[in-house]
């Protein structure tokens, strides 16, 4: 795993944006895998600015988001559908038809997951997957457990994740208990993976990721089995201050 050490959140964001911008220039019709959460907001902000300044072009880019709460309405301001449009897609020149996000309104989640896998496959696969990391080591919403699922699936969120995400909701009880998420295998099929981490609360998960040991107790550690992963972490996430 390549490690890029950064002093702070802004540096981490700039480094990740640089890698994504380089990918867009190398392959203008590339397929990006994208996360939600607080961590990528800085990256999205820089990419929006680069797009406004005509430095990068999204017209041919396809995106697949990692996960979505289930069930949730697209209009709900806490849905990842809303989040991605509000923070990124509404501000860049991407074709909405090329935006793929798991549908939290789907009647049959199983079918929704199967269709999503098909769509990723038919797009030629993900060229560059950007990931955040949960305090408990989750990637997407692949939560720690005895076994990790390979394909896109419906999952029960752990209490740790519900608590961590409750900051966005009025009450903890409002956080949906389930989510649709790309599976570990879906993520591992990406040709290149960039994982970003900022802040002291991530230090333990990042420490385990860097230990090299692979364990389902920290799903991110599976990335040690991928041959093209870059971890971009700030000093706090590396436990250095
Ligand atoms: P965060 O979430 O960026 O809001 O910390 C990361 C994650 O849970 O994957």
pLDDT of residue 211: 97
Q: What pLDDT does 115 receive?
A: 98
β-bridge mates for residue 67, sequence order: 181
Q: Up-side HSE of residue 61: CA atoms within 13 Å toward CB?
A: 23
- Kindly provide the residue ranges of all beta strands, DSSP E only, lying in 141-201, ordered along the sequence: 153-156, 178-181, 192-197
Spatial contact of 199 and 173, defined as CB atoms under 8 Å apart: no
**Atom number of ligand 1 nearest to Cα 198:** 5
> How far does the centroid of ligand 1 lie from the alpha carbon of residue 60, in Å?
28
Active site residue 2: no
Q: Please tell me the distance between residue 138's alpha carbon and the centre of ligand 1 in angstroms.
A: 9
Over the chain (241 residues), the average pLDDT of each successive run of 10 is 98 98 98 98 98 98 98 96 98 98 98 98 98 97 91 95 93 96 98 98 98 97 98 98 72
What's the pTM value of the predicted model, to 2 decimals? 0.97
CB 43 within 8 A of CB 37: no
Q: Mark whether 85 is an active-site residue.
A: no
Q: Which DSSP category does 152 fall into?
A: S
Task: Indicate which atom in ligand 1 lies nearest the CA of residue 161.
Answer: 8
Which domains, from first to last, does the chain contain?
2-231 (3.40.50.1360)
8 A C-beta contact, residue 82 and residue 89? no
């Amino acid at each position: 795993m390549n490690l890029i050490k950064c002093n702070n959140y802004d540096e981490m964001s700039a480094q990740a944006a640089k890698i994504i911008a380089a990918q867009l220039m190398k392959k203008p019709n590339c397929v990006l895998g994208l996360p939600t959460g607080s961590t990528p907001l800085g990256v999205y902000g820089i990419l929006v600015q680069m797009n406004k300044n005509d430095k990068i072009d999204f017209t041919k880019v396809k995106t697949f988001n990692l996960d979505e709460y289930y069930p949730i309405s697209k209009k709900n301001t806490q849905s990842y559908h809303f989040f991605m449009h509000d923070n990124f897609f509404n501000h860049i020149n991407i074709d909405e038809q090329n935006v793929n996000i798991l549908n939290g309104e789907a009647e049959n989640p199983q079918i929704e997951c199967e269709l999503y896998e098909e769509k990723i496959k038919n797009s030629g696969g993900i060229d560059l997957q950007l990931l955040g990391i949960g305090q408990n080591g989750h990637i997407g919403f692949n939560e720690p457990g005895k076994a990790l699922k390979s394909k896109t699936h419906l999952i029960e969120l752990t209490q740790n994740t519900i608590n961590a995400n409750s900051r966005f909701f009025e009450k903890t009880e409002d956080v949906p208990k389930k989510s649709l998420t790309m599976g570990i295998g879906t993520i591992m099929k990406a040709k290149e993976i960039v994982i970003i981490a900022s802040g002291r609360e991530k230090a333990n998960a990042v420490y385990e990721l860097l230990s090299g040991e692979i364990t389902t107790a920290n799903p991110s550690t599976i990335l040690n089995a991928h041959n093209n992963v870059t971890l971009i972490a700030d000093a706090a996430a590396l436990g250095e201050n």
